[in-house]
Structure 1
Amino acid sequence: MADDFERMWAELAPIGRSSASGGYFRQPFLGAETELRAWFGEQVAARGLEVEADGVGNVVAWWDPVGVGAAAPALLTGSHLDSVLDGGAYDGPLGVVSALAALDLLRSRGVRPQRRIGVSVFAEEEGSRFGLACLGSRLATGALSWADAQELRDRDGVFLGDALASVGLPGATEGGLLDLSGVGTFVELHVEQGRDLVDRGAAVGVASEIWPHGRYRFDLTGEANHAGTTRMEDRADPMLTYAMTALAANKQARLSGSRATFGRVEVEPNGTNAVPSRVTAWLDARCASDAELADLVAVVTRQASERAERDGTALVVTAESVSVSVAFDASLARSVAVDHAGGDWPVIPTEAGHDAGILSAAGIPTAMLFVRNPTGVSHSPAESAELPDCLVGVSALADTLERLAR
């Protein structure tokens, strides 16, 4: 198992990696991510798995050694291969590599599952190109319509359909979407995106819930003018409104124990010696409950609007995506967590979004396994996982699949 895992990881490690930062640029339907998809195709072909793919880039490779087909609810695992901009190596690919290694381990044990087991790769999980996280799984579950998805554009103005066509994908109209109606359980393994397992001294954990979260676009408009000749009191500067909004979001999140981040900003005309005419900024907000998320965004919006009135600027807030809270199947989580050689795995919440949350919200019983991240850092080149912990994760996933496949 260790040799297979290390071999696969070594093959993936260089793909999409920046020589400058050491981070990864694996945006969907572009060179590096397309190369990863080709790699996945080679891996499943070598294992003799049956491949099901749809028109938007979602793929499942099925293992059905006893030929049960659709007679029993299928068991699905896997994750995604795309990354955030300048991201870490483990977010997504660890779940895919671990799923393949877990299948190899089950085969070596002589396991003959009474349910089909699939290894999935969902498209555009991060939302790093088209701004909507878990795009592939949203489409496959019906949480997002193809009509709405076709209106999405990337930062260069490229429509989703054109991006798909550029890599030979026909879109949902011609290529269809994955049929997940026969999936009875989904188990996703993921690197932990925090330090909970480090603090607990545990290599692996099981998810209890996902915090609700959303992405909100703040469009702030003012009046472009000369930076030298325009008196401060004569300005309608949207940058001032944005600056106060970012500080307000930080303060409100700290007061409530929530998360609020402005991580992306666009400025027009973006000149050093010009008062800007427009600032567009994206707020990522996450809270412990749906009500708290709504309250946080409402307070930040109100404070931004009040500041805009004082600055002589205008504000429009658009919710680009909102994911409600997800409580994973508690009995499934317990069955995954208990009775392992090293004792029970801890059951912990996560503030990060995942395809698992989308499938759970669609009514598919879902569990998540986390592998310890010694740095606690994610969405960054510093994201990490140690080989012994990764191998414990593979064993934990294989044990889980074996239990569920009976």
Structure 2
Amino acid sequence: MILSDFESMWRDLLPLGRSAASGGYFRQPWTSPEREARAWFVAEAEARGLEVRRDGLGNLVAWWRPVGLDEATEAVLTGSHLDSVLDGGAYDGPLGVVSALAALDLLRSRGFEPDRPIGVGAFVEEEGSRFGIACLGSRLLTGATSWDQARELRDRDGVRLPDALAAEDLHGPGPGEGGLLDGVGCFVELHVEQGRDLVHRDVAVGVASAIWPHGRYRFDFAGEANHAGTTRMEDRRDPMLSYAMTALAANKQARTRGQRATFGRVDVRPNGTNAVPSHVTAWLDARAESGEELDALLTDVSRQAQERAERDGTSLKVTAESVSGEVRFDPDLAARIAAPGGWPVIPTMAGHDAGVLSASGIPTAMLFVRNPTGVSHSPAEHAETADCLAGVDALADTLALLAGGDR
């Protein structure tokens, strides 16, 4: 009998990678805090007698395979991720992993015997906080991103992805290596809601219908470095002005269209207080209701940025670093999962590993747990324990539905 329950697991995981100053999390992939989180996962899985498999990226899947099951039986996979954004919240990702292990405990306590293997996954670099591509672990796992592309990635300190993996005794995708997703017939991810839809509906749990298309785009503005005091305003070629107007334009375009546009990361060179910068690189996160809306939003923001650059005497290059199309989760699967609990089916504007697996052809669903503040990617991210436990119940019921005789 497993003594550890949701609350004790949560208590053990909570300190890993947490900043004493802000209370936020810095669990960037292939770093010490994230390594500790992965070790925590392996220990919890092995304590439950689960078979842990990993690939050369650090993706993990722990399997419950009851004796006597046909090896060819399609499996049910659940789970989420353990990494965080910079100074992120406790719940985004880890809630899905802890809840998955707790759901297995609950099923066992009910005496449930699955007709299909059940796996709990922990994907790496879901946030893209280190190497810039969201859901990189699941993208490489499904082939949505190739290793030839990924191996050229560098983090903010110039560390290449293969070197980051090697420092963790990981080798990247290897030839002939068995895929962790082999035999997976469906995937269910539980996640804290990153908004207030469930708050407004006054319900603890919801089911996802779709993920908005979204992309990350790098805007490189080049100008001329010069003295902040001696250079007349009219003589400057200042890329910061070009960037500033672009940030305002993105805000206005997104607001008037009811879409999303955020410049949340900026790199300035030479980054001196008394110098006109020579180069500004800024990253745009854009999201929209459809692919056409996303393309139109990017086109108009880029056009206004180019027009401003021409007036400022600067230059602009726009590069799409990561773009994900709209994901519509299997509607029949969502309806089956939502029906027993009467849970609402709602869209999400946030990206998830579930979206990548769905796009690869695996029938996929998502459960959301109410977030009373609606705040996410912040230390203020929260979910009440009672709602988390309701999520565990909902996930256990979903796994029983999918891995039992009724499927």
Answer whether TM exceeds 0.5 for this pair: yes
CA distance in 2 between counterparts of 1:87 and 1:177 reads: 33
Match of 1:19 in 2: 20
> 1:197 touches 1:372 (CA, 8 Å); kept in 2?
yes
Name which of structure 1's ranges 75-84 and 180-189 shifts more when overlaid on structure 2. Answer: 180-189
Alignment partner of 1:71: what SS?
Answer: coil
Moved over 6 A (4+): none
Correspondence 1:139-288 to 2 at 5 A: 139-173=140-174, 176=177, 178-288=179-289
Which residue of structure 2 lines up, in the alignment, with residue 74 of structure 1? 75
2: CA distance between counterparts of 1:118 and 1:173? 22
Structure 1 residue runs without a partner (length 5+): none
Please, which moves more after superposition, 48-57 or 271-280?
48-57
Aligned-partner Cα distance in 2 for 1:382–1:375 = 8
CA distance in 2, matches of 1:117, 1:141: 19
Partner of 1:374: 372
| 3-state SS in 2 of match to 1:28 | coil
SS in 1 for 2:38: helix
Give a deviation string over 1:274-295, Cα, whole Å, max 9, x none. Answer: 0000000000000000000000
Deviation (angstroms), 1:82 = 0.0
CA distance in 2, matches of 1:2, 1:256: 51
1:386 to 364, 384, 387: 384
Same amino acid, percent of matched pairs: 73
For residues 129 and 347 of structure 1, what CA distance do their matches in structure 2 show? 32
Q: CA RMSD in A?
A: 1.2
Q: Structure 1 residues 239, 79: closer, same or farther in 2, change over 3 A?
A: same
1:359 CA drift (Å): 0.3
CA distance in structure 1 between the aligned counterparts of 2:141 and 2:34, rounded to whole angstroms: 20
SS at match of 2:340: coil
**Shift in Å, 1:68:** 1.9
In 2: Cα distance, 1:350 partner to 1:256 partner:
17
Matched, 1:334 2:332: no
TM value normalised by structure 2: 0.97
What is the match of residue 350 of structure 1?
Answer: 348
Deviation at 1:70, TM superposition (A): 3.2
How high is the TM-score relative to the length of structure 1? 0.98
Matched to 2:344, the amino acid is P
Query: Displacement of 1:65 after TM fit?
Result: 1.1
The residue matched to 2:5 in structure 1 has which SS? helix
8 A Cα contact 1:194 1:377, kept in partner: yes
Offset at residue 71 of structure 1 (A): 1.9
In structure 2, stretches of 5+ residues that fail to align are none
Could you list the per-position Cα deviations for residues 282-332 of structure 1 after superposition, in whole angstroms to 9, with x for gaps in the alignment? 000000000000000000000000000000000000000000000000000
Q: Is contact 1:80-1:123 (8 Å) kept?
A: yes
CA 1:218 to 1:97, structure 2 compared with 1: closer, same or farther past 3 Å?
same
Distance 1:3 1:34 in 2: 21
1:360 aligns with one of 358, 361, 380: 358
Residue aligned with 1:209, SS? strand
SS at match of 2:217: strand
Q: CA deviation at 1:170?
A: 1.3
Corresponding residue for residue 129 of structure 2: 128
1:338 partner SS? helix
